Amino acid sequence: MIAHISLSVSDYQRAKKFYTKALKPLKYKQTMEFGEAAGFEEGGNTSFWITRTKKHSPTHVAFEAKNKRQVNAFYKEALSAGARDNGKPGYRTEYWPGYYAAFVYDMDGHNIEAVYFDHEKIKK
């Protein structure tokens, strides 16, 4: 399952206004914002993001893992298949308390992520 995707935009305010309006009929609403990055949620998952970039940049796709073991295996296998490191497996508490992820760049420079949403981490 794809957990989320992020598109680069050249005019953040214009894009935020556009996607807020265009996605409303699909029941998406903006729920997060970090600088010039906005996340839109539907059904409890912030699955669509826009991010301002100075130039067009590669796409970001996050695949949802079922546990930390899968995230770790994704990272190891991706590197052995030719990907470049973009963030070792670990918790990204600045995103969400139980956000466990690893990031790699594929051969075309796309930012590929595996993420596990560790709900147990929040209960502690």
Q: Is the overall model pTM greater than 0.85, yes or no?
A: no
Question: 43: left (phi > 0), else alpha (psi -120 to 50), else beta?
Answer: left
Lookup result for tokens 């309006």: 21
pLDDT of the chain, 124 residues: tens digit per residue: 788 999 888 889 999 998 999 888 878 899 999 999 999 998 888 999 999 887 767 889 998 899 999 999 999 999 998 899 999 999 999 988 999 999 999 887 889 999 999 988 876 5
Residue 13 vs residues 1, 30, 52: alpha-carbon distances, Å? 29, 13, 9
Q: Are 74 and 49 in contact (CB under 8 A)?
A: no
For 74-87, give one letter per residue: b (16+ CB within 10 A) or e: bbeebeeeebeebe
- Measure the CA angle with vertex 38, ends 111 and 113; round to 5°: 20
